[in-house]
Amino acid sequence: MSLGLEHYLVLSAALFSIGLYGALTKRSAVVILMSIELMLNATNIALVAFSRYIVPVLLTGQVFTIFSIVVAAAEATVGLAIIMAIYRSRETIDTTKIDLMKW
Amino acid sequence: MGLEIAFWVLAVVAIAAALAVVTLRNVFRAALSLILCFLAVAGIFVTLSADFLAAVQILIYVGAIAVLIILAIMLTREVERGSLSNKLVVPVLISAILFFGVATFAMLNTSWPVVSLPPAEPTTALLASKLFGEDGFILTVEIAAILLLATIIGAITIVREK
């Protein structure tokens, strides 16, 4: 059985689901950010797989993946900066205890 | 044949490493498994003949983002507390499995317009002409540059000591 687009899409869905589980259940903000990176990687796999199997010569999916990586890097940088700022003022990054804006 | 073996090995490694990220109690070990997962995804990119993206994946994710995450773990004393879960474990587990099932069902039952052309290789020159050439994505490249500049300024402003 040769490799097809579906193999990569199912792998991408599996990684995305694992990241979704981590992002919604973890209490540590750093682990939540790690799970979000997992989900972004899963979407990158799907984009590159579409690029390889549907537009193999145009490479549009790979161009989108480059921008997706840029946005992921920006998101990780600002996210970790916010985590550091919260840790400095509240001595914890437990998301169940950071409830200042919860009504 | 070699491509199939490489894909299955990399897929198993990627999923095992991702599961380790969300299940390990030690946050530092979870970050190390995240690096393993990034490396496996880079290998998956190689099997998709996206050589430039595999290099970018290793440079940016393993080289920059993983180092940033490990630095944040060390600066916030997360290792002592461990990676705890909140009260939503069971409902989120059910929803994640449901999402995986629905997504897989939808993907397997869609007839994708697959083209059986050989992939373009090597991709670096093609990607460069796509990004910077005529009718390319040059505006998006400039927007990405402004986004990165705003990110640098924002990160410095947020973490600066008052």
| Residues of the domain holding A34 | 5-90
**A47 occurs within a structural domain:** yes
Residue B27 to residue A48, Cβ atoms within 8 A:
no
Our CA-based measurement puts residue B66 at a distance from the nearest CA of chain A, in whole angstroms, of 9
The total number of residues written for chain A in this structure: 103
| Residues of B whose CB is below 8 A from A38 | 18, 21, 34, 37
Which pair of tokens denotes residue B144?
């990405």
Count the neighbouring beta carbons within 10 Å of the beta carbon of residue B18.
30
Our CA-based measurement puts residue A103 at a distance from the nearest CA of chain B, in whole angstroms, of 19
| Interface confidence (ipTM) of the complex | 0.92
pLDDT at A1: 58
The interface residues of chain A toward chain B in range 43-82, judged by CB-CB distance below 8 A, are: 44-45, 48-49, 51-60, 62-63, 65-67, 69-74, 76-78, 80-82
pLDDT at B78: 74
Q: Which of A18, A28, A55 sits opposite B19 (nearest CB)?
A: A18
| Residues of B whose CB is below 8 A from A25 | 22, 85-86, 88-89, 92-93
Last residue of a domain, one of B59, B86, B113: B86
Candidates A1, A84, A29, A17; CA nearest to B81 is A29
Which pair of tokens denotes residue A25?
């259940």
The CATH number given to whatever domain includes residue A36 is 1.10.287.3510
Last residue of a domain, one of B58, B86, B114: B86
User: pTM to 2 decimals?
Assistant: 0.91
Computed over every residue of chain A, the mean pLDDT equals: 90
Inform me whether the C-beta atom of residue B105 falls under 8 Å from chain A C-beta atoms.
Answer: no
Are B100 and A18 within 8 A, CB to CB? Answer: no
Return the residue matching tokens 């705003």: B150
**A102 occurs within a structural domain:** no
Residue A6 Cα to chain centre, angstroms: 21
Which pair of tokens denotes residue B108?
């397997």
Residue B112 to residue A53, Cβ atoms within 8 A:
yes
Q: What is the pLDDT of residues A53-79, one digit of tens each?
A: 998 888 889 999 999 999 999 999 999
Cis peptide before B113 (omega within 30 of 0): no
**A34 occurs within a structural domain:** yes
Q: Report how far residue B139's alpha carbon sits from residue B25's, in angstroms, rounded to the nearest whole number.
A: 44
| Residues of B whose CB is below 8 A from A10 | 104, 107-108
The CATH number given to whatever domain includes residue B64 is 1.20.120.1200
Residue B57 Cα to chain centre, angstroms: 8
pLDDT at B47: 92
**A100 occurs within a structural domain:** no
Burial annotation A28-51 (CB, 10 A radius, 16+ → b, else e)? bbbbbbbbbbbbbbbbbbbbbbbb
Host H or E run for residue A48: helix A29-53
Q: Which of B68, B84, B103 sits opposite A80 (nearest CB)?
A: B68
DSSP-based three-state secondary structure for B15: helix
One-letter-per-residue 3-state SS of B87-108: CCHHHHHHHHHHHHHHHHHHHH
DSSP-based three-state secondary structure for B80: helix
Q: Name residues of chain A where pLDDT drops below 70.
A: 1, 103
Residue B30 to residue A31, Cβ atoms within 8 A:
yes
- Torsion, Cα of B113, A54, B47, B34 (10° steps): -100
The total number of residues written for chain B in this structure: 162
Which residue of chain B is at minimal alpha-carbon distance from A50? B114
**B100 occurs within a structural domain:** no
The interface residues of chain A toward chain B in range 17-36, judged by CB-CB distance below 8 A, are: 17-22, 24-28, 30-31, 33-35
pLDDT at A8: 93
Write the CA distances from B101 to A14, B41, B46, B143, integer angstroms: 9, 22, 27, 37
Per-residue pLDDT of chain B (162 residues; tens, 9 = 90+): 888 999 999 999 999 999 999 999 899 999 999 999 999 999 999 999 889 999 999 999 999 999 999 999 998 877 777 778 888 889 999 999 999 999 999 999 988 888 887 777 788 888 898 889 888 889 999 999 999 999 999 999 998 876
| Residues of the domain holding B6 | 1-86
Write the CA distances from B128 to A54, B12, B18, B123, B144, integer angstroms: 20, 32, 32, 9, 15
Domain count, chain A: 1
